[in-house]
């Protein structure tokens, strides 16, 4: 079994406290930590942002519920205001706004940040990387164990079709709310976690419902500098409890400036393109007859990758209008000893933000010597080979084509336009290939994040 011993990123102030109280005590007065689990959440109230489901979204402000309907607030104002409140209350492990940041000279303008606060000295924990899908384990840290003070607000679709925000709304335990919480080890201003249906304790895996919630979050922000990201297991997700990350950075990401080549327009109105002249091979999804059409297409692609045990990262950009999907293999290379010691010494694990061009560096030496060449060299190790990329694309196009075809027939035209020359028999062979998405065996290495 392929595994990595790693020092996990701390996302909550309660992450190291995994001791549970006596069951009787928890039933009577909770665990004593005012956590977000059922032992403490009874009767709790939190702000609620309710978004309106619609195809065409305007950058509107919403009206506060209850007695404050004359006051208006935008989603991003609510999020950043609550985030700053938590910063003033000292809930973060360090002040991310004091971290040095610079744009690296070059064609793409990679962004380098020196964030020594994320270099942690915690006990080693075993982290398996050869399985993208793993069952939820309630004994390990999960987001029901965060303190309620770390949760900013609930994020739900409006039941009456009206967009609104209530500053104090009961937590509906039976319906398991989606929530937005702080990441106590932020990598940028406004760094938060979106945790869909938190009390359902879903493992880290994308489904149609959860991804649509993430797209709505990006759309509600209405600002291209607010992006939402996702890391699968095996692609540097550190917690096996379904979550997305998001933050605000007023700079264009290099990935957003990379050229693309259109591959196909689906019947749902979604356009699929591939990245060109970028160190990590990937696909770009955009357009669609509705937000849900785009969400379903990307979800189908992600579910395909998960089901085929292929680690991947996702970036939601341009207010939810563009989605980048990258299959990657860096963690596998680490475990097999195929990454150079020089790159390993940087302690950078390239997840969605690094792949997008925001390089979070943990050593001053690397920050001072940051260059486009160095960034490119690191990210090139993340990318699948051209051959493997074509194999994976065949799987993805089969999945999204079948879901966009009324009769469920694979569109050979779609595969041809993508430059993939596999027949249907070859696609089936790839699915059943002896070449696994991740190599099995026993190999361990120390990975710091």
- Condensed to tens digits (0 to 9), the pLDDT of residues 104-114 reads 999 999 999 99
262 DSSP β-pair partners: 273
Pair type for strands 164-170 and 62-64: parallel
Secondary structure class of 362 (helix, strand, coil):
coil
pLDDT(57) > 70: no
pLDDT of residue 333: 94
What is the pLDDT confidence band of residue 15, given thresholds at 50, 70 and 90?
confident
- Tens digits of per-residue pLDDT, 404-427? 663 333 344 554 544 544 443 443
pTM: 0.86
pLDDT of residue 269: 95
Record the tokens describing residue 185, joined without a space.
Answer: 């080890």
pLDDT of residue 54: 61
End-to-end CA distance of the chain: 21
pLDDT of residue 449: 35
- Mean pLDDT of all residues in 321-333: 96
Percent of the chain with pLDDT over 90: 71
How far is residue 325 CA from its own chain's centroid? 11
- Tens digits of per-residue pLDDT, 58-89? 445 565 555 444 346 899 999 999 999 999 99
pLDDT of residue 109: 97
pLDDT of residue 273: 98
What is the pLDDT confidence band of residue 159, given thresholds at 50, 70 and 90?
confident
- Tens digits of per-residue pLDDT, 261-290? 999 999 999 999 999 999 999 999 999 999
Q: Which residues contact 219 (CB under 8 A, 6 or more apart)?
A: 57, 291, 319, 320
- Tens digits of per-residue pLDDT, 333-387? 998 999 999 999 999 999 999 999 999 999 999 999 999 999 999 999 999 999 9
- Would you mind telling me the total number of residues written for the chain in this entry? 449
Percent of the chain with pLDDT over 70: 77
What is the pLDDT confidence band of residue 119, given thresholds at 50, 70 and 90?
low
Quote the CA–CA distance of 43 and 219 in Å, as a whole number.
Answer: 31
Average pLDDT of the residues of the chain: 84
167 DSSP β-pair partners: none
Residue bearing the bigger pLDDT, 363 or 129: 363
Exposure string for 152-166, b = 16+ CB within 10 A, e = fewer: bbbbbeeeeeebbbb
Instruction: Verify whether residue 241 is a known catalytic residue.
Output: no
pLDDT of residue 61: 57
Please pick, among 241, 243, 358, 422, the residue that the annotation labels catalytic: 243
């Amino acid at each position: 079994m392929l595994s990595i011993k790693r020092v996990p990123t701390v996302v909550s102030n309660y992450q190291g406290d995994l001791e549970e109280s006596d069951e009787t005590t928890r039933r009577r007065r909770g665990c004593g930590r005012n956590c977000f689990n059922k032992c403490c959440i009874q009767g709790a109230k939190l702000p609620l942002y309710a978004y309106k489901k619609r195809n065409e979204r305007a950058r509107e402000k919403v009206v506060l519920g209850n007695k404050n309907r004359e006051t208006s607030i935008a989603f991003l104002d609510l999020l950043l205001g609550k985030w700053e409140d938590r910063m003033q209350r000292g809930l973060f492990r360090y002040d991310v706004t004091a971290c040095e940041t610079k744009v690296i000279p070059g064609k793409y303008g990679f962004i380098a940040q020196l964030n020594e606060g994320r270099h942690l000295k915690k006990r080693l924990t075993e982290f398996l990387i050869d399985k993208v899908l793993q069952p939820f384990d309630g004994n390990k840290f999960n987001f029901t164990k965060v303190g309620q003070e770390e949760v900013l607000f609930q994020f739900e679709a409006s039941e009456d079709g009206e967009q609104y925000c209530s500053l104090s709304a009961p937590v509906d335990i039976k319906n398991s709310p989606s929530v937005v919480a702080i990441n106590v080890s932020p990598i940028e201003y406004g760094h938060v976690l979106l945790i869909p249906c938190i009390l359902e304790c879903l493992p880290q895996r994308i489904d149609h419902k959860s991804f649509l919630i993430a797209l709505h979050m990006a759309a509600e922000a209405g600002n291209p500098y607010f992006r939402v990201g996702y890391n699968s297991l095996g692609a540097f997700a550190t917690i096996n409890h379904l979550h997305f990350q998001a933050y605000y950075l007023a700079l264009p990401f290099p990935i957003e400036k990379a050229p693309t080549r259109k591959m196909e327009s689906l019947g749902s109105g979604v356009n699929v393109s591939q990245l060109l002249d970028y160190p990590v091979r990937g696909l770009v999804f955009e357009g669609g007859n509705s937000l849900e059409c785009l969400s379903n297409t990307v979800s189908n692609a992600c579910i395909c990758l998960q089901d085929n045990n292929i680690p991947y990262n996702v970036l939601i950009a341009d207010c939810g209008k563009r989605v980048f999907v990258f299959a990657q293999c860096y963690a596998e290379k680490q475990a097999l000893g195929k990454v150079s010691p020089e790159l390993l010494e940087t302690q950078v694990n390239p997840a969605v933000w690094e792949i997008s061009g925001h390089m979070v560096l943990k050593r001053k030496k690397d920050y001072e010597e940051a260059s486009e060449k160095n960034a490119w060299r690191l990210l090139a190790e993340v990318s699948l080979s051209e051959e493997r990329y074509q194999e994976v694309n065949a799987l993805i196009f089969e999945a999204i084509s079948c879901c966009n075809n009324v009769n469920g027939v694979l569109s050979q035209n779609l595969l041809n336009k993508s430059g993939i020359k596999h027949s249907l028999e070859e696609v089936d062979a790839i699915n059943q290939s002896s070449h696994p998405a991740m190599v099995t065996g026993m190999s361990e290495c120390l990975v710091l994040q």
